[in-house]
Chains A and B, each alone.
Chain A
Amino acid sequence: MKQLWVFPGQGGQHGGMLAPVPAVLKEQVAALLDMSFPDTDAVYTDSVQLQVAIALLQVSETQELMAAGFTPELAAGHSLGVFAAAYSLGSLQLDDLFKIVHYRASLMQASYPSGYGMGVIVGLPRTSVAKLVAQVTTTDAPVYTSNQNAPDQVALSGELTAIDAVLQLAKANGAAKALRLRVPVPSHSPLMNGVAQKLTKAMAGVQLTPPQGIYLTNDGGRPTKDPEVIRRDLSDNLAHPVFFDDMLAVAADYYPQVVVSFQPGQPFRKVLANRFSDDVHQIGLASMSIDDATFLLNKWERGSQNE
């Protein structure tokens, strides 16, 4: 049974989310990075705590599904989720994953102390949003079109007053929704070029092996099995929009039979439901234990053999 595994980025986190993570894995990562995991809402305002914890949760879920005998044919990570995606395909190793996630989070935390962030517009096509952005953006207060999570959902990244100006214009031009996101960094825009360059240097020495399935790139939404393409995506995805909509569209062309959404939260529930037909099984680990998930996967596996 062909599986697509989807790894979200930040957003769905909450204190206590690491409870199901085995102590031995937690200790291993704590020792590796010389940090502890209080796992409270309070610490998740800290980028490093938050990003490492999300990676820890995703790695833990991946390990458990693999121990139950499942692997993905396709893996789609959104932003921070790219690392667990590469790990799930056997391309990125565990120690490297946590070191790079830790480094990435530290760089992001230091990049824009204040005044920058992201917004989202629902109900306008990307081309229309791009026109509004072009009216507003300046060298001093730059704003860019950013992630595309669904056909009618375009994110903005940049300076906050500029973002607000584009949001206002979007509402006046018929957007269904136009609001700021609680993200303190202008992620997935050229404003992150500096961070991406440092990450590229750090990633240069990391060993990546050919993936056991298809990796879907954030940049451009392309399918690939080339470790060097994966390396580039892990290194510089912060400087490019995540074309998540394209990632899913192209994943659909490979006919996955099961889609598994990893935690935290289930931010793409609607998007995935719209993208895949009803005969594609969907599992969200935010609303189901690993045991229940493996029970269902085994059941569907048997069903597909009987057909």
Chain B
Amino acid sequence: MSDTERNWHSHRDAKAARLANAASLLDGKFAKTKDAKAVLETLLSSGDKVVLEGDNQKQASFLSQTLASVDPAKIHDLHMIMSSVSRPEHLDIFEDGIASKLDFSFAGPQSTRISQMIADGTLKIGDIHTYLELYARLYIDLIPNVVLVAADKVDHEGNLYTGANTEETPVIVESAAFHDGIVIVQANEIVDKVPRVDIPGDWVDVVIPADEPYQLEPLFTRDPQNITELQILMGMMAIRGIYERHNVQSVNHGVGFNTAAIELLLPTYGDQLGLKGKIVPNWEVNPTPTLIPAIESGWIKSIHSFGGEVGMEQYIAARPDIFFVGPDGTMRSNRAFGQMAGQYALDMFVGSTLQIDQYGNSSTVTKGRLSGFGGAPNMGSNPTGRRHSTPAWQSLKPKDDPLGRGQKLVVQMVETFGSNKRPVFVDHLDAEEVQKEAKLANVPIMIYSEDTTHIVTEEGIAYLYKTDSMAERQAAIEAIAGVTPVGMRSTEKELADLRRRGIVALPEDLGVRRTDAKRSLLAAQNMEDLVTWSHGLYNPPAKFRSWS
């Protein structure tokens, strides 16, 4: 066949044919709620690549439930692309044969079941990606045939308003809309005029009003009540030994209590140290309520977010100088841009993990639980193509190499033993075993040793970037690993030597007094304090309300 005979718009023709088949179910772009199943059975085709929106916060729950109800005789062997496997029906579709292959990022809430299904061959894994990697592949080799997304409000033209939780809707829709994929949207509400156009209507093919609003989890809310004195001690060490020492200007915090403690120590301990106005004005982070005191006391100048947080809407609307807020008053959270900023533009990432091996590799994948990682591997890695002039990035530049580059600070904060009293420091990650069991191409490591620049434990800080060899790196890790089997290899003599050379610092080396690590040092000690700090603008979800 010569080039002139080739059909160069076969995708467009196929899309038109599918939509024509569905014509009887559609009034313009709009379908009825009760016809949702029939719409999917008509527009989907077996073997399609299908993106189902759902990250760790926002879920296209009406469409996922509808997808799980389609007839497997009609629709089967879909290749699902989902950044988060969070809901039972996300795996039911594999059990029923509706789908057979999965590319994903995070499966925390379904991690046991997904492990079993991989072991049993019920589902085939493409890859376990970082968020950004998965989004990127939608434009390269995982171009979708159909995408299923969620919107707050849709007008009669099909314009979408995604409100405070825009998250991954734009990056998903764009991959289909400009490559003749079909864009199907579940809508909380159909309105005459949307408050803000987040996705233009001509990118949208089908809108289905949902029977109930999409699922939204207050995933990043940490009650200050549960912050321990050990976490406060570690937070104090981190502020002195890392934030201050490296003059850190921009940061991403993970979602644990360790970083919540730091957020609540900035307005108190940070102030005592005279660091206000000198460190961390710029953040890429979800709008966690524990940031409120630092915002209110003038520590934080800007926050860009991956997603919203339930209860923070009013507060955010009233602080447009800080957050990225549309003219309508709700925050725009574009997850793909957030991940990009988190990977490329930050001085520092601070996170936590369940296991760290003797070399400094870390993972949250443990035996029988294939959780995946979401955004941590983006934030917690050093993009080697970047060249920043910020003092933090420059401070990690090797002194003796004229062409040397700086590095992003990647900090892991862990207690040496978990709350289950199992050692966090281990010789070998469970992830190595999981790779074999699940026959994965790569060991599911969350953050690699080579990217990890600092580890903070209750014992002290290991400045891994200062080590010259793997043996020295191991010794530094052992020195702060407490009485775990890894830590027991460290001797007093080695510790003294590492302290002398500045590779390890104990609290006393940093001028941190352990007896100062008191809960009273936190700017807010409970949820009610956070509400007070917010001038009543923060409205905690019911499960975080212990008062009335």
Contacts and interface: CB of A to CB of B under 8 A. Distances in A.
A226 to B, nearest CB: 10
B109 interface: yes
A190 B277 CA distance: 68
Contacts of B109: 253, 255
Contacts of B543: 279
A250 B542 contact: no
A307 B542 contact: yes
A284 interface: no
Nearest to A221: B116
A230 B536 CA distance: 54
Given A222-B116, A279-B543, A253 B368 contact: no
Nearest first, the 9 A-B pairs at minimum CB distance are A249-B112, A253-B113, A250-B112, A253-B110, A254-B88, A250-B113, A253-B112, A279-B543, A222-B116
B120 interface: yes
14 contacts: A151-B420, A221-B116, A246-B368, A249-B112, A249-B369, A253-B88, A253-B91, A253-B110, A253-B112, A253-B113, A254-B88, A255-B88, A255-B109, A279-B543
A250 B120 CA distance: 14
A252 B109 CA distance: 9
Contacts of A221: 116
Contacts of A279: 543
A213 interface: no
Interface string B112-129: 110010001000000000
Interface residues of A, number: 14
Interface string B526-546: 000000000000000011000
A222 B88 CA distance: 14
A223 interface: yes
B390 interface: no
A250 B113 CA distance: 5
Interface of B is mostly: helix
B111 interface: yes
A151 B542 CA distance: 32
Given A249-B112, A253-B109, A255-B109, 15 more contacts: A221-B116, A222-B120, A223-B113, A246-B112, A249-B368, A249-B369, A250-B113, A250-B116, A252-B112, A253-B88, A253-B91, A253-B111, A253-B112, A279-B543, A307-B542
Interface string B137-176: 0000000000000000000000000000000000000000
A254 B113 CA distance: 9
A246 B109 CA distance: 14
Query: Which label, helix, strand, loop or mixed, suits the secondary structure of the A interface?
Result: loop
Nearest to A222: B116
Interface string A68-85: 000000000000000000
Nearest to A253: B113
Contacts of A246: 112, 116, 368
B503 to A, nearest CB: 31
Contacts of A220: 116
Interface string A149-167: 0010000000000000000
Interface string A253-281: 11100000000000000000000000100
Interface in A221-236: 221-223
Contacts, number: 28
B134 to A, nearest CB: 21
A171 B414 CA distance: 29
Contacts of A252: 112
Contacts of B542: 307
Contacts of B420: 151
A254 B112 CA distance: 11
A272 to B, nearest CB: 15
A274 to B, nearest CB: 8
A151 B116 CA distance: 16
Contacts of B91: 253
Which of A250, A255, A279, A307 has the largest number of chain B CB atoms within 10 A?
A250
Contacts of B112: 246, 249-250, 252-253
Interface string B89-117: 00100000000000000000111110010
Contacts of B120: 222
Contacts of B369: 249
B228 to A, nearest CB: 17
Of listed A246, A253, A254, residue having the most chain B CB within 10 A: A253
Contacts of A222: 116, 120
Most interface-central of B112, B120, B369, B542 (chain A CB within 10 A): B112
Max chain A C-beta neighbours (<10 A), residue from B88, B369, B542, B543: B88
Nearest to B117: A222
A222 B109 CA distance: 16
A279 B368 CA distance: 24
A221 B420 CA distance: 22
A69 to B, nearest CB: 23
A222 B120 CA distance: 10
B422 to A, nearest CB: 8
A220 B368 CA distance: 12
A151 B368 CA distance: 11
Interface string A126-141: 0000000000000000
A89 to B, nearest CB: 17
A129 B420 CA distance: 19
Contacts of B113: 223, 250, 253
Contacts of A249: 112, 368-369
Nearest to A223: B113
A249 B120 CA distance: 17
Contacts of A255: 88, 109
Contacts of B116: 220-222, 246, 250
A221 B120 CA distance: 12
A223 B420 CA distance: 26
A131 B116 CA distance: 24
Nearest to A254: B88
Interface in B361-413: 368-369
**Most chain A beta carbons < 10 A, residue from B110, B113, B369:** B113
A253 B92 CA distance: 12
Interface in A292-306: none
A255 B113 CA distance: 12
Contacts of A254: 88
Contacts of A223: 113
Contacts of B368: 246, 249
A105 B88 CA distance: 37
A255 B111 CA distance: 13
Nearest to B109: A253
B545 to A, nearest CB: 13
Nearest to A220: B116
B28 to A, nearest CB: 35
Nearest to A125: B367
Nearest to A224: B95
Contacts of A250: 112-113, 116
Interface in A200-227: 220-223
Contacts of A151: 420
| Residue with the greatest number of chain B CB neighbours at <10 A, chosen from A220, A221, A254, A279 | A254
A224 to B, nearest CB: 9
A307 B545 CA distance: 14
A220 B115 CA distance: 12
A40 to B, nearest CB: 41
A221 B88 CA distance: 16
A208 to B, nearest CB: 19
A207 B447 CA distance: 52
Nearest to A252: B112
B532 to A, nearest CB: 25
Nearest to A251: B112
Interface in B307-349: none
